[in-house]
């Protein structure tokens, strides 16, 4: 047993995107209190002030190298609202395709490079699956890691064709995408997506994706895994059972999705807020950002249109992180693939969620289910694409106005709020997925979602970086560079 | 192939995009490339198993000279703010700013590599009022100096190698690392901004698929048009040092092939052009930024001549997003 009130500081917390420190108070072998700390501030919101509104599309993708297209999409959506002109439908299909490709690549990166390597640790050396998992997921040498890196690079050829390159493309604009593909390029896109599907079926799922997506219960999932012991899905489920991932990192019953892949105003993955089993529409008017525990100059919690980013230069404020605390109707919410798939009603994810709520296992499973769905989603966008039509129609922006743009990054809901005055950006505020998930406490002392999910986590005597804590933190697929921006 | 070399990769005031881009390396993929050139990744924030105290122990050993380090890569700018303290980026798990760790590790490494325009010059993170006091390892924008100072030379005899780009092409980074590992990179292989000349001696203009439009000054009027983007859309590919149009990105692409302008992201201070990125400032219709090495009088003369000589096909296609008028069919003389 650990001594009462023992402090443990875990950092640099790697295999997350960006800089993270987690401070734990351990009592009687369990986490009693957690503080999640973002240790890097860059100030993108300040950089954007005074610039041409379209210049946001140069800056915002560079907030994050892993959610780059998501950042562009949120800004392009906000600018599109400002322009008041609908995006050409084929431009919107192409925009959704490059966005889906980034999200699929990110899910693949998370599973193979960020999450699974924790099961290769010494702590698990006595488990029957350990040797196999080391062969698959040892950092740099694991055969699954190598196959994933190759499949990811080939998938991202979609970016080479439609977006110039990845990350940091200027192809994504309020008026659509700047590349009008021809028939031959459309065929190539189809071939790339088909190749990606073959990879997923062979390496991760061990079978037909549509058959996998037809599963609706834990029993059916278990039977699928028994029949396919050489799939990485079955390997994950074996690790999950053994390490009791279904009991770790249990979150609050408040999930949010802004809805993903809008086409002519209709989201392919439905938006919504699920709180205490009740589904309601997503209303961004109820969002505020609280700075009471951030290294920010003290002030009232404000809606992002009125929001400010004024870091405390002396680092003397009461805060412990550079992350602000976003709240929706006064509450923290969890965002991510789990929220998207539960809110969209995906049968298997729903079934697992109803059984155990938001936890490490359901977060990772939701990501895998979404990965399987994205192969079909991408294919549909390409097949529906009319390569004789317009993909870009320049947007005319007003001299003054304000607008918000939303999208779903791989790791959850991303919002941009932009105020334009005299033809230039007067205020720009961003709330990223991990700003929600890894937010600090608010003025009422309510902890952020991860801070709460860590409480009660078992810590073995002598553990410096408790492995259960690592599973929980990485189950959110955090992106720390987006978090503070 | 060669003796094994150790590498530590740190991230500071940046977005992690150069790592994400590096993972797009193909034929072979990144890990196979490391195998081939004997690069041992001692620690990388996105790739290593080690976390927390395990990683700190390694960094301490290197900083104290107890463990040899061949290559130190920094991705992201060096954050000196607020007021020179470096407090806007504290290395998680420690009480020290990343600034201090970078300075200490750079003294120990045989080679120091700035990966991306942020680490090289400050880049996007240094844009505008630069409240984080971001700078590059050995440059602050166009000025030599930066975090390590203008006279810094790493143990191996090279100044900081600036693999600039936002993001960097995976080949620029991995081939720089391979050249360092083989011991064949010399000071003369770097240009005036410390960039490897194997890609920085090329211009983005070289191999641009819009070259015929450039020759005739047949200009695009909006993004996605096929014409030259220099006259109206802020494209500075004729001045940008990089081989983006002869070395494809993600198998196929480049900015100009993606339908938008080159913003010269391999250059210091690209982040603050002094005008909207996708516009071309001009005086009496003549762009202020002329193609590299081109005298103004010749540009004016050639441009007006070329405009007058523009074939209708080129003119029509320049303002379309797909070819509307194909080239005439000519049969070879027998």
A residues 372-401 lying closer than 8 A (beta carbon) to B: 390-392, 394
Task: Give the Å distances, CA to CA, from B53 to A36, B48, B56.
Answer: 17, 13, 5
Contact status, residue B225 vs residue B319, Cβ threshold 8 Å? yes
A139-152: average pLDDT:
98
Residue B291 tokens, joined: 């193609």
Kindly state whether A6 is in contact with chain B, defined as any CB-CB distance less than 8 angstroms.
Answer: no
A192: nearest CA partner in chain B? B251
Which of 12-31 (A) contact B at CB < 8 A?
12-15, 17-21
**Within an 8 Å CB–CB cutoff, is residue A199 touching chain B?**
no
Q: In which residue are the tokens 């990343």 written? A: B98
CB pairs under 8 A between A and B: 262
Q: Look at residues B65, B78, B62 and name the one whose alpha carbon lies nearest to residue B148.
A: B78
Can you give the length of chain B in residues? Answer: 334
Q: Tens digit of pLDDT for each residue in A224-266? A: 999 999 999 999 999 999 999 999 999 987 999 999 999 999 9
Q: Per the CATH hierarchy, to which homologous superfamily does domain B202-323 belong?
A: Cytochrome-c3 hydrogenase, C-terminal domain (4.10.480.10)
pTM attached to this predicted model: 0.98
Taking CB atoms and an 8 Å limit, are A13 and B249 in contact across chains? no
- Digit-coded pLDDT (tens) for A34-54: 999 999 999 999 999 999 999
How close does chain A come to B333, measured CA to CA in Å? 31
Distance between CA atoms of residues A335 and A333, nearest Å: 7
Alpha-carbon torsion angle A158, A161, A165, A171, nearest 10: -110
pLDDT > 90: percent of chain A: 96
Sort out which chain A residues have CB atoms less than 8 A from B270's CB and list them.
none
pLDDT given at position A2: 44
CB contact under 8 A, B52 and A465: yes
For every residue of A117-146, DSSP letters joined together read GGGGSGGGTTSTTHHHHHHHHSTTT-HHHH
Summarize pLDDT for A117-127 with one digit per residue, the tens.
999 999 999 99
Residues of A in contact with B58 (CB under 8 A): none
Are A12 and B251 inside 8 Å of each other by CB? no
Asked if A40 lies within 8 A of B263 by C-beta distance, the reply is no
Joined tokens for residue A99: 């966005």
Report chain A residues whose CB lies below 8 A from the CB of B51: 10, 12-15, 465, 470
- Name the residue in chain B with its Cα closest to that of A10: B52
Which of A140, A176, A425 to mutate against chain B (most B CBs within 10 Å)? Answer: A140
Residue pLDDT, tens place only, A435-445: 999 999 999 99
Return the pLDDT at A314. Answer: 76
CA distance A76 to chain B (A): 14
Residue with tokens 């993004």: B223
Nearest-angstrom CA–CA distance, A81 and A84: 5
Task: Sketch the domain layout of chain B as residue ranges.
Answer: 5-199, 202-323
Chain A's closest residue to B30, CA to CA, is: A149
> What domains does chain A contain, in order, with CATH numbers?
6-484 (1.10.645.10)
> Residues of A with CB below 8 A from B322's CB?
180, 182
d(CA A12, CA B52): 5
Contacts of A121 in chain B (CB under 8 A): 49
- B-chain residue closest to A160, CA distance: B253
Of A12, A13, A160, the CB nearest to B251: A160
- Find the residue in A nearest to B248 (Cα): A160
Please tell me the distance in Å from B37's CA to the nearest CA on chain A: 14
Closest Cβ–Cβ partner in A11, A149, A170 for B260 = A170
**Residue A19's closest chain B neighbor by CA?**
B92
The chain B residue lying nearest A156, using CA atoms, is B250
Asked if A165's CB is within 8 angstroms of B250's CB, the reply is yes
Question: Does A65 contact B51 at a Cβ distance shorter than 8 Å?
Answer: no
The answer to whether A160 contacts B50, with C-beta atoms less than 8 Å apart, is no
pLDDT at residue A460 greater than cutoff 50:
yes
Question: Whole-angstrom Cα distance, residue B230 to residue B195?
Answer: 25
User: Does the distance separating the beta carbons of A392 and B321 come in below 8 Å?
Assistant: yes
| Residue B295: CB atoms within 10 Å | 9
Per the CB < 8 Å rule, is B222 touching A152? Answer: no
What is the model's pLDDT at position B333? 74
Q: What is the predicted pLDDT for the residue at A3? A: 53
Nearest-by-CA chain A residue for B77: A42
Q: How close does chain B come to A42, measured CA to CA in Å? A: 6
Inform me whether the pLDDT recorded for A95 exceeds 80. yes
pLDDT of residue B229: 98
Q: Do A65 and B15 touch (CB under 8 A)?
A: yes
Tens-of-pLDDT digits for all 334 residues of chain B?
A: 457 999 999 999 999 999 999 999 999 999 999 999 999 999 999 999 999 999 999 999 999 999 999 999 999 999 999 999 999 999 999 999 999 999 999 999 999 999 999 999 999 999 999 999 999 999 999 999 999 999 999 999 999 999 999 999 999 999 999 999 999 999 999 999 999 999 999 999 999 999 999 999 999 999 999 999 999 999 999 999 999 999 999 999 999 999 999 999 999 999 999 999 999 998 888 888 889 999 989 999 999 999 999 999 999 999 999 999 999 998 877 6
Which pLDDT score is estimated for A4?
A: 61
pLDDT at A1 over 70: no
For the segment A57-66, the average pLDDT, to the nearest whole number, is: 98
The string of pLDDT tens digits covering residues A3-25 is: 568 999 999 999 998 999 999 99
Q: What is the mean pLDDT of residues A149-175?
A: 98
Do B277 and A54 make contact, defined as CB atoms within 8 angstroms? yes
B249 vs A contacts (CB less than 8 Å): 159-160, 164-166
Q: What is the 3-state secondary structure (H, E, C) of chain B?
A: CCCCEEEEEEECECCCHHHHHHCCCCCCCHHHHHHHCCEEEEECCCCCCCCCHHHHHHHHHHHCCCCCCCEEEEECEEECCCCCCCCCEECCCCCCEHHHHHHHHHHHCCEEEEECHHHHHCHHHHCCCCCCCEECCCEECCEECCCCCCCCCCCCCCCCEEECCCCCCHHHHHHHHHHHHHCCCCHHHECCCCCEHHHHCCECCCCCCCHHHHHCCCECCCCCCCCECCCCCCCCCCCCECCCCCCCECCCECCCCCCCCCCCCCCCCCCCCCCCCCCCCEECCEECCCCCCCCHHHHHHHHHHHHHHCCHHHHHHHCCCCCCCCCCCCCCCC
Helix (H) or strand (E) holding A278: strand A278-280
Q: Would you state the structure tokens that stand for residue A27, as one six-digit string?
A: 């009592």
CATH 3.30.930.20 fits B5-199, yes or no: no
* pLDDT computed for residue A10 by the predictor: 96
Give the pLDDT score at B1: 46
B-interface mutation test, from A165, A297, A395, most B Cβ less than 10 A away: A165
- Rounded CA-CA distance A447/A23 in Å is 13
How confident is the model over A168-190, as pLDDT tens digits? Answer: 999 999 999 999 999 999 999 99
């Amino acid at each position: 047993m650990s001594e009462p009130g023992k402090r443990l500081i875990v950092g640099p917390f790697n295999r997350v995107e960006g800089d993270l420190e987690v401070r734990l108070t351990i009592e009687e072998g369990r986490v009693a209190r957690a503080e999640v700390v973002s240790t890097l501030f860059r100030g993108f919101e300040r950089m954007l002030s005074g610039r041409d509104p379209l210049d946001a599309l140069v800056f915002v993708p560079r907030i994050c190298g892993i959610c780059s297209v998501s950042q562009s999409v949120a800004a392009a959506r906000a600018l599109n609202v400002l322009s008041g002109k609908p995006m050409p439908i084929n431009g919107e299909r192409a925009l959704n395709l490059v966005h889906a490709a980034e999200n699929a690549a990110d899910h693949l990166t998370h599973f193979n490079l960020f999450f699974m390597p924790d099961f290769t640790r010494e702590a698990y050396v006595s488990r029957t699956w350990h040797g196999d998992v080391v062969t698959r997921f040892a950092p740099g040498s694991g055969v699954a890691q190598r196959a994933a890196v190759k499949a990811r690079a080939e998938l991202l050829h979609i970016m080479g064709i439609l977006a110039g390159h990845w990350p940091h493309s200027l192809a994504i604009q309020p008026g659509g995408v700047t590349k009008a593909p021809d028939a031959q390029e459309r065929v190539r896109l189809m071939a790339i997506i088909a190749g990606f599907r073959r990879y997923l079926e062979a390496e991760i799922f061990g079978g037909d994706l549509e058959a996998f997506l037809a599963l609706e219960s834990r029993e059916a999932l278990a039977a699928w895994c028994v029949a396919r012991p050489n799939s990485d899905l079955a390997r994950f489920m074996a690790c999950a059972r053994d390490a009791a991932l279904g009991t770790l990192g249990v979150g609050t019953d408040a999930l949010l999705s802004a809805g993903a892949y809008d086409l002519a105003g209709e989201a392919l993955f439905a938006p919504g807020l699920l709180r205490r089993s009740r589904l309601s529409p997503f209303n961004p008017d109820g969002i505020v950002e609280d700075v009471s525990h951030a290294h920010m100059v003290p002030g009232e919690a404000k809606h992002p249109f009125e929001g400010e980013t004024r870091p405390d230069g002396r680092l003397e404020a009461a805060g412990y992180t550079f992350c602000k605390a976003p709240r929706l109707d006064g509450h923290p919410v969890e965002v991510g693939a789990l929220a998207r798939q539960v809110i969209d009603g995906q049968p298997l994810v729903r079934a697992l969620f109803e059984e155990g709520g938001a936890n490490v296992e359901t977060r990772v499973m939701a990501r895998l289910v979404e990965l399987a769905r994205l192969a079909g989603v991408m294919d549909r966008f390409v097949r529906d694409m009319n390569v004789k039509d317009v993909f870009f129609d320049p947007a005319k922006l007003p001299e003054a106005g304000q607008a918000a743009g939303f999208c779903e990054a791989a790791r959850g809901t991303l919002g941009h709020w932009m105020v334009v005055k005299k033809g230039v950006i007067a205020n720009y505020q961003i709330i990223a997925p991990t700003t929600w998930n890894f937010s600090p406490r608010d003025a009422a002392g309510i902890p952020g979602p991860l801070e709460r999910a860590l409480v009660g986590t078992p810590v073995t005597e002598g553990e410096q970086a408790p492995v259960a804590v690592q599973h929980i933190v990485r189950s959110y697929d955090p992106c720390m560079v987006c978090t503070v921006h | 192939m060669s003796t094994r070399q150790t590498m530590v990769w740190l991230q500071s005031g940046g977005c992690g995009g150069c790592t994400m881009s590096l993972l797009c390396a193909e034929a072979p993929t990144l890990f196979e490339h490391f195998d081939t050139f004997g690069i041992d990744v001692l620690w990388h924030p996105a790739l290593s198993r080690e976390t927390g105290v395990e990683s700190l122990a390694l960094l301490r050993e290197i900083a104290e000279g107890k463990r040899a380090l061949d290559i130190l890569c920094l991705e992201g700018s060096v954050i000196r703010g607020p007021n020179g303290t470096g407090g806007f980026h504290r290395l998680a798990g420690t009480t020290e700013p990343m600034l201090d760790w970078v300075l200490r590790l750079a003294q120990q490494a045989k080679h120091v590599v700035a990966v991306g325009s942020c680490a090289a010059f400050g880049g996007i993170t240094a844009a505008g009022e630069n409240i984080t006091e971001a700078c590059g390892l050995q440059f602050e924008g166009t000025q030599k100096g930066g975090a390590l100072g203008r006279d810094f030379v790493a143990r191996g005899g090279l100044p900081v190698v600036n693999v600039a780009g936002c993001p960097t092409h995976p080949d620029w980074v991995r081939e720089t690392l391979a050249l360092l590992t083989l011991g064949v990179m010399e000071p003369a292989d770097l240009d005036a901004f410390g960039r490897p000349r194997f890609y920085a001696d090329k211009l983005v203009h070289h191999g641009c698929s819009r070259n015929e439009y450039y020759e005739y000054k047949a200009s695009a009027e909006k993004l996605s048009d096929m014409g030259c983007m220099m006259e109206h859309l802020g494209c500075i590919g004729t001045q940008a040092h990089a081989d983006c149009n002869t070395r494809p990105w993600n198998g196929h692409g480049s900015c100009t092939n993606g339908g938008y302008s080159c913003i010269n992201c391999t250059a210091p201070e690209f982040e603050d052009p002094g005008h909207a990125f996708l516009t071309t400032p001009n005086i009496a219709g003549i762009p202020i930024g002329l193609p590299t090495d081109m005298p103004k009088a010749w540009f004016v003369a050639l441009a007006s001549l070329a405009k007058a000589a523009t074939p209708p096909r080129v003119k029509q296609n320049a303002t379309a997003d797909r070819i509307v008028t194909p080239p005439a069919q000519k049969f070879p003389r027998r």
